[in-house]
Amino acid sequence: MTGEIICGVDEAGRGPLAGPVLAAAVILDPARPIAGLDDSKKLSAKKREALYAQIIERARAYCIASASVEEIDTLNILHATMLAMRRAVEGLGVAPTLALIDGNRCPTLAMRSEAIVGGDARVPAISAASILAKVTRDRLLVDLHQEFPLYGFDVHAGYGTPQHLAALLAHGPCVHHRRSFAPVRRACELHGVS
């Protein structure tokens, strides 16, 4: 593995009913280690924010990319996730020779890639990507909350919580809701919107 340039890749936001899916690719710098990297879901929001700042500062290269709600609805969530991952890898300022992808599938990339189930907890570069993607998406949903406060995006980040589902049924979907997801589709039908 000498001379190998490894990037870790992970996504955030496959399951929510609203907002884009985000992906990040990170090439860590062995000379500037970051302590405490882990699966973003296992870390507190405060810890994620602190690690986010360190990753941005110390990584050899990183890129955060997304696939829009329109792309999710057109392609489906799996293909939109792969697209966001590919965009993140292609956006790196340093070309990796190997991409380690969290999960059981790899996007089509110009370099070798390997899917690692549970990689966000086992591979530091994937953990770093997990943190960048989650923090960025959470911040984005807080911004969407300013625009559409009825839905509580700042609390549930677009996931189908009872509060979110109740707001969706009461008010109908907004432009940031994924029409291809069943609860949103039902709310569209109920409110007569397409």
Per-residue pLDDT tens digits of the chain, which is 194 residues long: 468 999 999 999 999 999 999 999 999 999 999 999 999 999 999 999 999 999 999 999 999 999 999 999 999 999 999 999 999 999 999 999 999 999 999 999 999 999 999 999 999 999 999 999 999 999 999 999 999 999 999 999 999 999 999 999 999 999 999 999 999 999 999 999 88
In a domain, 139, yes or no: yes
In a domain, 1, yes or no: no
In a domain, 193, yes or no: no
In a domain, 19, yes or no: yes
Half-sphere exposure of 1 (CA within 13 A, CB side): 5
What is the C-alpha to C-alpha distance for residues 35 and 188, in angstroms, rounded to an integer?
Answer: 46
pLDDT of residue 94: 97
In a domain, 137, yes or no: yes
The answer to whether the beta carbons of residues 17 and 177 sit under 8 Å apart is yes
In a domain, 135, yes or no: yes
CA 7 to chain centre: 16
Burial of 91 from C-beta contacts in 10 A (0-12 / 13-18 / 19+): middle
pLDDT of residue 2: 65
CATH at 107: 3.30.420.10
- Tell me the C-alpha to C-alpha distance, in Å, between residue 10 and each of 1, 110, 155: 21, 17, 22
The answer to whether the beta carbons of residues 99 and 111 sit under 8 Å apart is yes
In a domain, 180, yes or no: no
In a domain, 63, yes or no: yes
Which pair of tokens denotes residue 21?
Answer: 């899916």
Total structural domains within the chain: 1
* Domain enclosing residue 29, as ranges: 6-149
